[in-house]
C-alpha cells in the first residue's frame, strides 16, 4: 500500500507541493521519490479552499464532512435498541425536534412544564407496581421532601439524599417522589428526595436553598458520615453546589457524592458540547436557554451555579459517571480532574456509547452502572 503525505508551502505566488511516496516492504523497495510542482501544475481537490483567510490566520477548529454516526456493535443489543428508538429513520434524534423558548418567555415555559408533568406522571405510573418502599411527603421551612423507607432496611442509621434531574426546570412532583422510592429500594436505606423549587416561578437560588434546607433536616436525624448525596444531570449540579455552600456555611459534609452525568458547567464551555452535539440522542443540543432561565441574571460562572469552577478542597469521596456519547462528557471528565487536583478521592466511570442519562434502563450497561453506584455508596458507609 502506498502512503502519500502532502505538504503545502506558500512561496510568493507559487505553491510548491511535495509528495513523498513511502511503501511497505512488500510493495516497493526503492527509496521515496520527491516531486516539486508549481500551482499551475498541481490540481488540489482534497482540501477545501481557505482563500478568505491568510495562511497564518488562527484556525477555528476541525471541519467535519456530513456523515452518519452508526450505532456501535461494541455495546449490548439492548443498548443498541435503546439508541435506535431515540432516532428517526432519517437519523434525526427525536429529542432534537423540540425547541426551548427564550428565557424570558414565562408563559411558554409554564406550558412546557405542564406537558412535561403529564409525561412524567404517565411514566412513573408504569413503575408503581415495581416499587417496594413506602413514601411520605413533608414540608420543611418551605422545602418539599419525599421520604422513602425501604421495606427491609440495610441500615437504619444511614440515609441517601436524591436530587432529581430535569435541566433545573423539570422533574419534580411525581417523578421526584418515585425517584426517592427507587433509590430507597436500590440502597436499602431511607431516601430523602428533594422536590426543589424551579423556574420560571422560582429561579436561582430557590433550588439551592431548598437543597440546603433538606440537608440540614437530614443532618438532624443522621450523622454526616452516614449520609450520601447523589444526583443525575441537574441534580448533580445541585449536589456539588450544595456541598460547596454547606462547607462555606460551616456545615459538616456527607460521606460521599454520586454525580451521574452532572450538569456542573452552565456556561457549556467543554469540548463535548460540540463533539457530541446531535450524537447524544437523549440530549442532542444545548441547554443554555434553560440555564439562563434558572440563573435569572446571576453569573453562570459562579461556583454555586457552575460548581466546576469552584474551590473543591475538602469535598467528600465522589463517584462520577458519563458515556462516550454524553453531551456532558466534558463536564464529567473535567470535574474528575478538578477533584483529583483538590486531592478528593474520586472514581470516574465512562460507558461505551452511553448517551446522557444512560440507556433508559433495562440494559446490561444500566445494571452494571447501578451495581457500581451501590458498591460505592456501601463502601462509604462501611468506612464509618
For 246, residues 6+ apart whose C-beta sits below 8 A from its C-beta are: 212, 215, 252, 253
For 278, residues 6+ apart whose C-beta sits below 8 A from its C-beta are: 93, 96, 284, 285
DSSP state of 192: E
Q: How far is CA 233 from the centre of its chain?
A: 5
| Euclidean distance between CA atoms 120 and 129, whole angstroms | 16
Using DSSP, state whether 295 is helix, strand or coil. Answer: helix
Tens of pLDDT along the chain (384 residues) come to 444 433 333 333 333 333 333 333 333 333 443 333 333 333 333 444 444 556 567 888 999 888 899 999 999 999 999 999 999 999 999 999 989 999 999 999 999 999 998 888 888 878 878 999 999 999 999 999 999 999 988 889 999 999 999 999 999 999 999 999 999 999 999 999 999 999 999 999 999 999 999 999 999 999 999 999 999 999 999 999 999 999 999 999 999 999 999 999 999 999 999 999 999 999 999 999 999 999 999 999 999 999 999 999 999 999 999 999 999 999 999 999 999 999 999 999 999 999 999 999 999 999 999 999 999 999 999 876
| Chain position carrying cell 443554555 | 288
DSSP for 118-131? HHHHHHHHHHGGG-
Closest CA relative to residue 140, chosen from 200, 218, 199: 218
Sign of CA dihedral 139, 145, 151, 154: negative
Give the relative orientation of helices 174-187 and 364-382 as an angle to the nearest 10 degrees: 70
C-alpha cell belonging to residue 42 = 498541481
* E strand residue ranges, the chain: 2-11, 14-23, 34-37, 134-140, 143-149, 159-163, 190-194, 227-232, 256-260, 317-323, 346-351
- CA dist 11 → 7, 38, 39, 59, 186 (Å): 13, 10, 10, 20, 68
Using a 10 angstrom Cβ sphere, with 0-12 exposed, 13-18 middle and 19 or more buried, the burial of residue 189 is buried
| Euclidean distance between CA atoms 355 and 86, whole angstroms | 10
358 contacts 366 by C-beta, under 8 angstroms: yes
pTM of the model: 0.85
| Euclidean distance between CA atoms 43 and 123, whole angstroms | 59
Amino acid at each position: 500500500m502506498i502512503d502519500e503525505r502532502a505538504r503545502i508551502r506558500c512561496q510568493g505566488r507559487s505553491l510548491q507541493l511535495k509528495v513523498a511516496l513511502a511503501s511497505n516492504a512488500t510493495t516497493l523497495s526503492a527509496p521515496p521519490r520527491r516531486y516539486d510542482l508549481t500551482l499551475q501544475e498541481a490540481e488540489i481537490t482534497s482540501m477545501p479552499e481557505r482563500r478568505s483567510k491568510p495562511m497564518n490566520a488562527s484556525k477555528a477548529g476541525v471541519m467535519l464532512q456530513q456523515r452518519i454516526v452508526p450505532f456501535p456493535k461494541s455495546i449490548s443489543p439492548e443498548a443498541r435498541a435503546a439508541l435506535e428508538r431515540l432516532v428517526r429513520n432519517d437519523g434525526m434524534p427525536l429529542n432534537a425536534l423540540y425547541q426551548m423558548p427564550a428565557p424570558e418567555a414565562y408563559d411558554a415555559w409554564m406550558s412546557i412544564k405542564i406537558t412535561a408533568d403529564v409525561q412524567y406522571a404517565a411514566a412513573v405510573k408504569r413503575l408503581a407496581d415495581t416499587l417496594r418502599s413506602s413514601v411520605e411527603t413533608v414540608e420543611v421551612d418551605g422545602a418539599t421532601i419525599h421520604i422513602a423507607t425501604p421495606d427491609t432496611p440495610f441500615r437504619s442509621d444511614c440515609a441517601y439524599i436524591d436530587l432529581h434531574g430535569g435541566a433545573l426546570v423539570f422533574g419534580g412532583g411525581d417523578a421526584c417522589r418515585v425517584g426517592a422510592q427507587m433509590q430507597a429500594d436500590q440502597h436499602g436505606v431511607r431516601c430523602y428526595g428533594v422536590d426543589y423549587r424551579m423556574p420560571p416561578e422560582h429561579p436561582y437560588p430557590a433550588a439551592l436553598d431548598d437543597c440546603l434546607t433538606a440537608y440540614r433536616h437530614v443532618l438532624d436525624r443522621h450523622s454526616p458520615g452516614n449520609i450520601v448525596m447523589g444526583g443525575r444531570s441537574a441534580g448533580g449540579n445541585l449536589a456539588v453546589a450544595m456541598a460547596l455552600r454547606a462547607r462555606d456555611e460551616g456545615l459538616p459534609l456527607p460521606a460521599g457524592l454520586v454525580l451521574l452525568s452532572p450538569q456542573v458547567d452552565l456556561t457549556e464551555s467543554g469540548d463535548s458540547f460540540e463533539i457530541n452535539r446531535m450524537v447524544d440522542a437523549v440530549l442532542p443540543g444545548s441547554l443554555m436557554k434553560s440555564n439562563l432561565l434558572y440563573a435569572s441574571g446571576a453569573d453562570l460562572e459562579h461556583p454555586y451555579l457552575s460548581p466546576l469552577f469552584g474551590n473543591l478542597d475538602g469535598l467528600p469521596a465522589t463517584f462520577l459517571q458519563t458515556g462516550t456519547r454524553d453531551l456532558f462528557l466534558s463536564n464529567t471528565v473535567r470535574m474528575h480532574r478538578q477533584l483529583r487536583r483538590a486531592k478528593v478521592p474520586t472514581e470516574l466511570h465512562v460507558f461505551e456509547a452511553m448517551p446522557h442519562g444512560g440507556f433508559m434502563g433495562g440494559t446490561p450497561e444500566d445494571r452494571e452502572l447501578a451495581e457500581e453506584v451501590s458498591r460505592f455508596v456501601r463502601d462509604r458507609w462501611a468506612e464509618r
